[in-house]
Amino acid sequence: MFRFGLNPAGFAVGKRDVHYAWVIVGVASMMWMTSSGMRFAASLLIDEFNKPEYFGWSIGAITVGFTIQWLMSGILAPISGWLGDRYGVRRVMWVGGFIFIAGMLLTGSMTQLWQFYLYFGVVLAAGMAAFQVTLVSGVTLWFRKQLGLAMGILQALQGLGTATAILIVFILFGLFGLRWTFWIPGLAGGALLLFLTRYFYNEPAAIGFRQWGAPDDEPVRRLQNNDLAKVRTRVFLKQAQKTTAFWNLVGIHFWGCSAHNIILILLVAMATDSGLAKGTAVAVYITLTVSSTLTRFATPVLADKFGAKTVMLVCFSAQTFPLLILLVSQDVGAYFLFAVLFGIGLGGEMTAFPIINRQYYGDAPTGTTYGWQMAGAGVGMGIGPVMGGFLRDWTGTYEWSVLLSFCLSLTAVLCITMLPSSSRRQLPDWEDALPPDARTAGGYNTPTTVPASDD
C-alpha cells in the first residue's frame, strides 16, 4: 500500500522511510527559491527604468532602491535570526509570507521613485529577511551529520531559483509590463510560501525526532521557542562576540557581497551599454547564475570535508580575478567567459558560512550569529551597487565600477587568510556558562567528524 506522511522513523513515501530532515531541505529550498529570486531578477529592469519613455530615472538613483533593500535586509537579518532562535522560525515565516505578498503588489503599482524606494526597498526587503536567515539556520538544527550535503542542495536549488526568476521577469515584462511582472510572482510565490510554512518545523523535537545522525539513545529535547532557548541564545551570543572570528566573518561577508552585488545588479545594464542585445545580456546573466549552481552545491560539501576556511579562500579568489576580463575586453565572448568563471566563484562565496559556523561553534544556537553575518552581507550588498551606479553616472563608463568590485573582493580574500583554522572549535566550553538545566546532553556539542586542518 502506498504511504505518505509522518511516522516514528521520519517521513514515509511508499515503502521507504526518509528522515524528516531531508523533507526540511526540500521545503526550505522551494521557499528560498521563491523568496530570494526577485531581488536579483529585478536588476534586469534597471536599463528599462532608465529609458525616457519609461521612468527616466538615472542609474545611480535606481541602484539606491536596491541599496535600501539590501540595507534593510542587513538590519533585519540579526533580528530575524534572534526571533527565530527564541520563538521558532515558523512564526517569523508566517509574518514574512504576508509581507512578501504586500511588497510585490505594491512594487508592481509604483509610479514614482520614492515608491520604488519604499515598496521595493523597505516592504519587500522585510518579507525577504524573514526567510534568508531562518531557512539556513533552521536547516542546520536538523543535521548532526551530512550538513554539507544538505546545505549544498539548499544553495544549489536557490541558484536555480534565481535563474528561473530572471527568465520569468524577462518574459513577463515583455508580455505584460511592470505591474504583472511583480503581481504574478508575488501572488503565486506568496501563496506557496504560506503553504510550505506549514511543513517547516522549528526543530526535530517539535515532532518528536532527533537530529539526522544523532545517537538513538540521545534524549529528545526542545531547544527552540522556550525559556531555555532564550538563555542559550543570550549566553552564546555574548561569548561569540568576544572572538575575532565572529567579527571577521561579518566583515568578510560585507567585502565579498559588496563586490559581487555591483556585478549582479549592473551586469545586464553593463552588457547592453557595451552593445549587446537585451536578450543576449539576459543570457549572460542566466549563464552566470547557472554556473554558480555547481559551486553552490559543491562548496558546503567540500567545506564540511576539508575545512571551510580553505574552501572559502579558493572561492573568494575565483570571484575576484575573473573581473579583470571585463577590464580587457567587453565583446560577447568575453562576457560569457566572465559569466562562467565569475559564477563559479560567486556560487561558493556565500555557501560556506553555515558550515564554518558549525565547525567553529558546534550545535550552539547560531541563528543570531548567522544573522549578524547576513547583516554584514546585507550592508555590503546595499553599498556596492549604489557606489557602482554613481561611478557609472560620474564617469560615463562601467570600468571604474568593475575595478571597485575587484578591490572589494580582494579585501575579502585577505581577511579570510586571517581566520583561525576551522578544524578547531572557537568556544568548546561555552555551555559551562549555562545553568545545568539549559545544557545539552553529553556529546551533543561534539562533532562527529573533524575537517582536515586548513591552517
d(C-alpha 408, C-alpha 256), whole Å: 7
pLDDT at residue number 78: 75
Question: Which residue has cell 553555515?
Answer: 354
Q: Among 175, 170, 182, which Cα is nearest to 48's?
A: 170
User: Residue 12: beta bridge partners?
Assistant: 5, 17
**More confident of the two residues 115 and 207:** 115
Q: How far is CA 244 from CA 159, 308, 415, 418, 426, in A?
A: 31, 16, 11, 10, 10
Percent of the chain at pLDDT exceeding 90: 35
H helical segments located in 19-58: 20-41, 46-50
In the predicted structure, residue 450 carries a pLDDT above the cut 70:
no
pLDDT at residue number 425: 86
Chain segment 268-320, per-residue pLDDT in tens: 999 999 999 999 999 999 999 989 888 888 888 888 888 889 889 999 999 99
442 pLDDT band, cuts 50/70/90, is very low
**More confident of the two residues 82 and 65:** 65
159 membership: H or E segment, kind and range? helix 147-176
Q: How far is CA 40 from CA 45, 96, 108, 166, 268, in A?
A: 10, 18, 16, 7, 11
pLDDT at residue number 317: 93
Q: Taking all residues of the chain, what is their mean pLDDT, rounded to a whole number? A: 84
| Average of per-residue pLDDT across 258-275 | 92
Q: By the 8 A CB rule, do 350 and 36 touch? A: no
d(C-alpha 140, C-alpha 277), whole Å: 43
Other CB atoms within a 10 A radius of the CB of residue 436 amount to 6
d(C-alpha 329, C-alpha 335), whole Å: 8
Q: Please enumerate in sequence order all residues whose Cβ is within 8 A of that of 323, keeping only pairs 6 or more positions apart, or say none.
A: 263, 338, 342, 402, 405, 406, 409
Q: Please enumerate in sequence order all residues whose Cβ is within 8 A of that of 274, keeping only pairs 6 or more positions apart, or say none.
A: 330, 331, 335, 398
pLDDT at residue number 122: 94
pLDDT at residue number 248: 94
pLDDT at residue number 253: 92
Edge to edge, the sheet with strand 16-18 lists 4-7, 10-13, 16-18
Residue ranges per structural domain of the chain: 4-213+224-438
| Average of per-residue pLDDT across 322-336 | 92
Highest mean pLDDT: which range of 23-32, 197-206, 428-437: 23-32
d(C-alpha 61, C-alpha 40), whole Å: 17
Q: Please enumerate in sequence order all residues whose Cβ is within 8 A of that of 391, keeping only pairs 6 or more positions apart, or say none.
A: 400, 401, 404
| Average of per-residue pLDDT across 240-267 | 92
Q: What is the CATH number of domain 4-213+224-438?
A: 1.20.1250.20
In the predicted structure, residue 35 carries a pLDDT above the cut 90:
no
d(C-alpha 171, C-alpha 90), whole Å: 33
pLDDT at residue number 454: 58
**More confident of the two residues 432 and 254:** 254
15 pLDDT band, cuts 50/70/90, is low
| Average of per-residue pLDDT across 380-404 | 91
